[in-house]
Every structure is written in C-alpha cells, then in structure tokens.
Structure 1
Amino acid sequence: MTIPMISSDATTDAATAPAAVSTAPVPEPRQEPATGTSWDDLVAKVREAGLYPTVEQAERVTRAVLAALGEHVVGDERVDLARALPEEAARIVAAQVPAHHVPAAAEFVNELSRRLPNATHATARWDTTSVLGVLPELIGDDLTHRLLAQLPSGYALLFGQAELVRAA
C-alpha cells in the first residue's frame, strides 16, 4: 500500500502548508513467518512428531514447551526466534519473562514435567522433543545453531540435533 504525497501550493504560506507525506510503501503487518507456516501447521507437525491423538493435546504441549523455551532464550536469538515462528507461537515465546538461570537440559525437562498435568520425566522429554524437534525445519539451521550456542550442553538432543563435543 502506498500513501499519496501531499504537496503545498507555491502561494501557500510555509507555516500553514500540509506536511509532505512519503510515497514509500508501508509494510504490511506480519501474519506468518517467511516459511509460510501457520500456527495450525506447527501444531499439526508437533502432533505428527509426538503421535498425539488429538489436536488439543498437541496444542497444549506446544504452548507449554514454547513458553518454557521463551524463558531461557534472550537477546537477538529471542527476537529472531519470534520472527521465525507463526504469530501465535511468537506471542507465547515473547510473553515470557527471561529467567536469570538457564537450566541444564534435564532440568528443563523436569520443569516442564511440573507444568504439564500428569506428566512424568519420560513424557515431558517426549513432549519437549516433539515440539523442539520440529523447530529446526521451521526456523532454519543458522538460528537453531545460535539458539543451541546460547543454551547449556544437552539441548541439541532435545532439538533432534547431534551434539558434538570436542575431545579433551
């Protein structure tokens, strides 16, 4: 959409002339990430990855895991993650107050098991990998690697990635 330029008449006093308006295009509000993935697409991918019997269960797990992740990602990576996600997922991540302490991967899963009703450590790990495992395809390798560089050791496996450790 473009906004027409309003120009002043040469005989009009400069003080009463309307301000010139740029003809530069106004960016449309972001509806979906560049990948074109919607919230429903993301939930469907999580449902398939986690073999959840209902959309509601996949959505509940997706919301919980993204909220937990949003507490532990900061800086440019947090902003870029929100930009790469569908709008609903971006809001979930952005709404979280970053924690002062980023837990180890096992502690992250334990925290999630306390948030999800009737969850055990094993089911929370399944839920976590079901959600985080679909993110690399959605957000790309570069951002995935940047997120993993920010998080403690052990998170790569939750994202379905190999974690390479240098030999001593």
Structure 2
Amino acid sequence: MTLRCEAFLGQVEERGEYGTPEEAERAARVVLALLGAHLVGDVRAQLAARLPETFALILLNPLQSAEPLSPERFVRATAAWIDGATEQTAAWDVSAVLSTVADAVGENLLGQILLQLPAGFDLLFGRPQLT
C-alpha cells in the first residue's frame, strides 16, 4: 500500500517539527537519495513501491556512494547535502524521515532493509534491536 505524498510528508513534518512542508520535503529527498545508494535489488524495489512516486524515483536514482556509510557518516553526509544543516539537525532529519519510512513499510520489509545496512541503522529508523 503506497502512502500518499501529503500523508508521508505530513508525518515527516510532524516528527521533524519543521516550520514548512518544504523543509520536510527537502529532508525526505536527501535522506532517501542517500538511503537508495545503500539498498539493492528487490528490497529497494519493494521499498520504492511503498513510497509516494516522487520519493520512489529518488530512492531508485540515488546519490552514488562509494561504500556503505556507517550511521554516523550517513548523518554527516545528510548534513553536507542540506544547506545550513549541522550534524545535530541532520540527525533529526534522518530520524524524522527514516521513522516515517519504518512505519510505512512494516517490520518484515524493514528487517530486510536493515540486513543491507551497516550495524546501527536500527536506531536511525527508530527501531532499536529489530535486526
């Protein structure tokens, strides 16, 4: 079941306590572009199928990553892509987006996603020890 764009962004906006929908959208675009570089095959396709089309396309055409980023480096990379972001605000952005993704995909697919990611991403998704 695909989330509607407004519903997805509404959840990100609420969790991130953003002032505008545009801020939530910017965070979602960056985080999903970075996430897409870490996922392959069927898992990435299944995740894309559960996201609004705009964000599915971002996930399927990711920013290139030479190597899997640890959770800390993922947050740093997010900060680098968002104007004016700090590591603290980027951690907030990542958490707002990935916890919304976790709710959208359910435990089964989330478990498969986490298997493709370096250790510690369960915390970024707001699901400690799901792996």
TM range (shorter): over 0.9
The one of the two structures with greater contact order (alpha-carbon pairs below 8 A, sep at least 6) is 2
Q: Could you list the structure 1 runs, at least 4 aligned residues long, displaced by more than 4 angstroms after superposition.
A: none
Aligned position for 1:160: 126
The separation in 1 between residues aligned to 2:64 and 2:26, in whole angstroms, is 21
Q: TM-score, normalised by structure 2?
A: 0.94
Aligned position for 1:11: none
Report percent identity of matched pairs.
Answer: 38
- Asked which structure has the greater CA Rg, the reply is 1
Alignment RMSD, CA only? 1.5
Q: TM-score, normalised by structure 1?
A: 0.74
Q: Relative to structure 2, which stretch is displaced further, 48-57 or 97-106?
A: 97-106
Deviations 1:138-158 (A, max 9, x none): 111111111111101110000
**Corresponding pairs, count:** 131
Structure 1: stretches of 5+ with no match in the other structure? 1-33
The separation in 2 between residues aligned to 1:128 and 1:164, in whole angstroms, is 18
Aligned position for 1:102: 68
Q: 2:104 aligns with which of 123, 126, 138?
A: 138
CA contact (8 A) 2:33 2:63 kept: no
The separation in 2 between residues aligned to 1:99 and 1:62, in whole angstroms, is 18
Higher helix share: 2
Structure 2: stretches of 5+ with no match in the other structure? none
Q: 1:85 aligns with which of 51, 54, 59?
A: 51
Aligned-residue offset at 1:98: 5.1
Aligned position for 1:125: 91
Aligned-residue offset at 1:164: 6.4
